[in-house]
Amino acid sequence: MRTSVGIIGAGPAGLLLAHLLRQAGIDNVVLENRTRAYVEHRQRAGVLEQNTVDVLRASGAGERMDRVGLRHDGIELRFAREAHRVDFPTRTGGRSVMVYAQTEVVKDLIQLAQQRDGRVLFEAEAFAIEHTETLRPVIRYRHEGAEHALECDVVAACDGFHGIGRRSVPPGRLNTYEREYPFAWLGILADVPPSCDELIYANHERGFALHSMRSPHVSRLYLQVAPDEDLNAWPDERIWAELDTRFELPGWRLERGRITEKGITPMRSFVAEPLRHGRLFLVGDAAHIVPPTGAKGLNLAAADATLLAAAIIRAHDKGDESLLDAYSDTALRRVWRAEHFSYFMTTMLHRDPRQDEFAHRLQLSNLHYIAASDAAAASLAENYVGLPVV
């Protein structure tokens, strides 16, 4: 089979890239190892930056998001048993974020692909990427019991941290940078209306907690735990009791409900660069991972996909590959800014088991500074709602 762009991975990066290219009349094929049901139901991020919202709207993929998504104009920082709100629009020229789960973005993009004759092959396992330094790279994959070859002009590896995309770059061609954090998140989904109107980020002496939501009827909550924590040691009652403790605030109450899902997520930062090898381009989690504290993972993937789509369209329509040549450097400037912001939020809000009380007092000092300083709050706000893609 022959196509202009072979895309590995039907997560938000791969599906958005395919959608933007299809709108420009550029043929592409998406290969996804998992089933459609798995892709549409795996729980991931839930906060969309203004940039991501704008891209989805402009490309015709934002109708359901605008109908059922929840616009948020700020977040609450809760520490020392006090609440401090950071307002976004007044500090960012009217920008905000949208609470709309990654699962819903994926569903919307798959539905659009079906409506517009997009080719998304599920249960199609890409097992090799060949000839990436030529003008005709090839993806070899298994689908419906047979092996196939997909010849492309460009390969976009949107296949996540454990995919074959990054591993297909020859040894010595990538530099990698990473950091492991000495804590993880225990996350739950609960059938209960959120106890807050906006996300709450809590710094507590027992550890970090986050109150988020997926809809007006479903809450998403997280607790800082040890990386090797045993999920079986956390029955529902213990989870709710610990959340009560960490969100403690006079006059405020955490509503409880039926927990429908729970899991533990490790925390790490990772960047591989450059994001290009010949005709192979790395997109999203294939090239970089951020701790979820800054709500940047999905948004970085969308930014990469938007940049790469524009570069491919320019090369296809005008024979100009300057944007393709600049893709890695351009994307990495935003990646490293997001890495730093995510690191900043993570280290400010979590209790490192290795830190002493002096370090905790520094955290509180930083939080008080953000609460009291317009300049500090503006810096947090502009990073949270998303800096320009370019």
- Active site includes 72? yes
- Active site includes 217? no
Q: Which segments within 80-195 are labelled E, that is strand?
A: 82-87, 97-99, 119-122, 124-130, 138-143, 146-151, 154-157, 175-191
Write down the catalytic residue from 181, 222, 327, 384: 384
The answer to whether the Cα torsion of 382, 383, 386, 388 is positive or negative is positive
- Active site includes 292? yes
Distance (Å, whole) CA 74 – CA 130? 46
Give Cα 277 distance to the centre of its chain: 23
- Active site includes 316? no
Distance (Å, whole) CA 181 – CA 301? 22
Q: Give the three-state DSSP class for 40.
A: helix
DSSP per residue, 199-219: -EEEE-TT--EEEEEEETTEE
C-alpha gyration radius of the chain: 21
Write down the catalytic residue from 141, 181, 201, 327: 201
Write down the catalytic residue from 204, 277, 288, 296: 296
Write down the catalytic residue from 292, 316, 327, 350: 292
Q: Look-up: residue for tokens 């770059």?
A: 169
Distance (Å, whole) CA 16 – CA 53? 12
| Residue ranges in the chain assigned as alpha helix (H) | 12-23, 36-41, 50-58, 63-68, 89-92, 102-115, 164-167, 236-246, 297-318, 322-349, 357-372, 374-385
DSSP per residue, 335-364: HHHHHHHHHHHHHHHS--TT--HHHHHHHH
Token duo for residue 5? 């762009």
Distance (Å, whole) CA 235 – CA 232? 7
Write down the catalytic residue from 12, 19, 72, 327: 72
Annotated catalytic sites, by residue? 72, 201, 292, 296, 384
